[in-house]
Structure 1
Amino acid sequence: MNHHCGRTYIPKVHLENITPSCYILSMPIYEYRCSECGSITTEFVQGFNDPEGLTCKVCGSRKLKRMVSKVNSISSQEERLESYNPLARHDDSFYRDTRNIGLHAEYMLKKAGIKPTEDFKSKLEKVRTDPSSVIKDYEG
């Protein structure tokens, strides 16, 4: 990693298929809870101050309060499966994480004592790494 102007950059060689020559890692993502409807809005913020004109993406209210965000950790797929709770309420980040595609199916197979086939594992890995492949395969 290179350091320039007090910020940390990742050179392009470490990021596949991305055109800018480097990316700044010092801009945080904040979550805000709406006091009107209770929904959570996620915002990419430059600096550490709340952006001006921030509104709820659901109801349009300006009554938002910054939340303490969860810390993400890296875990193996087996650890993800072990900690998966099908009854738990998941936030948007859970559904945006492609590693969670098929997690419920894996959970149900394990619960039933059925070992997934290699074909199932291969298709699941393909859709996790390239979710749009489902549409491509269906159309093609």
Structure 2
Amino acid sequence: MNKALFAVATLTASAAVLTACVSGSSEPDAVDKPVTTKSVVAYAAVEASGDVGLDRSDSGTTVTVRVGNDVVVRVAHGADTEWSFNPENPAILQYPASPPIDGGGRYMIGFHAAEPGTTRLVGILSSHDGQQLDTFTAEVIIRR
């Protein structure tokens, strides 16, 4: 069994426990809601696949990913806020690699590394009335 399937199988068995037990987060913009089973399993599969997984604590960092892999961002938000993410160079880091998952106070979105190069991934947390509340940035280096 490959690593990604093993990770998904293992975490599927324990995801219900995590969903029941995990609430809140150390993330500064987190809400006090449980992590959904779907997001726990999906994020574990990202890390097992060779893709790069980022969370709120990774803002301001530089990450390296190979062409063909994905960069997946997972952040918390409240019921009256929403995140939007955009790469500065969408020709090399394409949106979206997979449909966004939004639920349980968590937002997860992936971008596909299509071509070698460097780009910055920018996320903005806004209130529903358009007020900018927070930002997320990560420098993404894509290599062959």
TM-score with structure 2 setting the length: 0.26
Answer 1 or 2: higher relative contact order, Cα 8 Å, separation at least 6. Answer: 2
TM-score normalized with structure 1 length: 0.26
Between structure 1 and structure 2, the one with the greater Rg is 1
Larger helix share, 1 or 2: 1
